[in-house]
Each structure stands twice: as C-alpha cells, then as structure tokens.
Copies of this chain bind each other. A is one copy, B any other.
Amino acid sequence: MEAISYNRPSLTALLRRHGIAPTHQRLEIAQVLFGRCHHLSADQILARVNEQHAETSKATVYNTLNLFCDRGLIREVIVDPKRVFYDPNTDPHHHLYNVDTGEITDIHAGALSVSGLPELPPGMVTEGVDIIVRMRASSPSVG
C-alpha cells in the first residue's frame, strides 16, 4: 500500500502524481478522505469540509469525488441503495457491511480467495470483483 501522509505538501504531491491540479477545495476534500475514518458519503464529506467555515460547494464535492475516482485515487463502494460511499483505500479488498447501522469495514483481500468464477464473454475484461458480506445482530426483534 502506498503510504500517504495527511499534511498539505504530501496531499499536493499525491494529487499531482495523479494528474490533478491541487486546488484549495480539492486539498480540503482529500484531507477529509485520507485523514479521517473511511467510507464517507458525498454528503458527509460536504459537511466535514465546511465544518469550520463554508468553503466548498456541493457541485465541487461531487465533481471532485468523481475526478478522484476516475484518476484512481479513491474507489466507490456500492452497498447501500441510498448513497455511494467513497473509499480512500484502493488496494484490493472487500467489505463487511452492517445492515443495521450502515457501518462499513474492510476485509483484506490477502486472506481471501475465490475460486470457480466463470469465464467472461470474449472481448470482456474484469474491472474488479466486489465481495460484500452483509451482517446483522443475531436476534433482531423481528421474528
């Protein structure tokens, strides 16, 4: 895994390395993504970026998250039909999803192996394999 420090100079370098001009707003967003707990939604990122003083618009947050995804800096996590989460960890790994709380935890891919995947149709290429383990508390009140 690429070691990432969370200070401005190294975030600036990180963006540049991915061909992204390091503007003020992008650095703020990068800091939220890489500096705090993982798996935030666009809305949560918007709120955190503007915690101290409003400085970034909704449009910019969405633009930036899509840009970061396109450039391989972060990854979308699609587990909740209501919103997309963004994962600053781009190493191969999977997710444990707490259906009750919405909490997402990483599962390292190293320990895990999948066999028996079918061949893809000709001309097609795997973009990624997502494994989502959905869990819940064992004795919910619903019988």
| Set of chain B residues within 8 Å of A136, measured between Cβ atoms | 124-125, 127
The number of residues on chain A lying at the interface, defined by a beta carbon within 8 Å of a beta carbon of chain B, is 36
- Minimum C-beta distance from A137 to chain B (A): 6
| Set of chain B residues within 8 Å of A127, measured between Cβ atoms | 99, 134-136
Is A131 in contact with B130, judged by CB distance below 8 angstroms? yes
Is B112 in contact with A114, judged by CB distance below 8 angstroms? yes
Whether A117 is near chain B, meaning CB under 8 Å from some CB there, is yes
Whether A138 is near chain B, meaning CB under 8 Å from some CB there, is yes
Q: How far is the CA of A112 from the CA of B115 in the complex (A)?
A: 6
Whether A20 is near chain B, meaning CB under 8 Å from some CB there, is no
- Minimum C-beta distance from A7 to chain B (A): 32
